[in-house]
Amino acid sequence: MTVSSVGFMGSAVQIGFNTKVAPTVYTNLGEVLDIEPSDPSVKSVQITNNNSPKDANGIIWDEFIAATADGGQCTFKVVYNPADAVVLQGKLGVPVGAKVQFPILGAQVTTGDSFTFDCFIEKMKISGNLENAVEYDVTLKVTGIPTFTPGA
């Protein structure tokens, strides 16, 4: 059977604290509902000049080079839990390490793929209503280069 997609069940968002003291220790947030790992992008700089390529009609085509990269944001939603609230509250703007761990898939035996990155909590929102659980929406601002580690 070919695996063409991955189920979300078993995924966890982990946020590490005290990264200078214990950089590999993460506090797991439970009951993750949705997650969007980082959305990195690269800014471009236009360098079109009189020596830029021309087509058969003599039209100069724009040229660009990659400039700075932005690690983007990681957003997630978790079911409100007082233990998670303790982990998140008071951390707004505080530099932390984060790890997004995916479930084991296909030929992976011990670990699934993961992303790790330095970040800070940019935004938090608690919401709920009579028909749904109380939820935390959290946005992390990635700083520096995110690291992808394939599962094993």
Residue 4 pLDDT greater than 80, yes or no: no
Residue 136's pLDDT is 86
pLDDT in tens, 8-56: 555 555 656 545 555 667 777 777 888 888 889 999 999 999 999 999 9
| 64/82 Cα distance (integer angstroms) | 49
CATH topology for 12-40+71-149 is Thrombin, subunit H (2.40.10)
Encoded tokens for 60:
């100069």
Encoded tokens for 2:
């070919």
The answer to pTM > 0.85 is no
Residue 132's pLDDT is 80
Residue 2 pLDDT greater than 50, yes or no: no
The H or E element that residue 86 is part of is helix 82-88
108, 85 Cβ separation under 8 angstroms? no
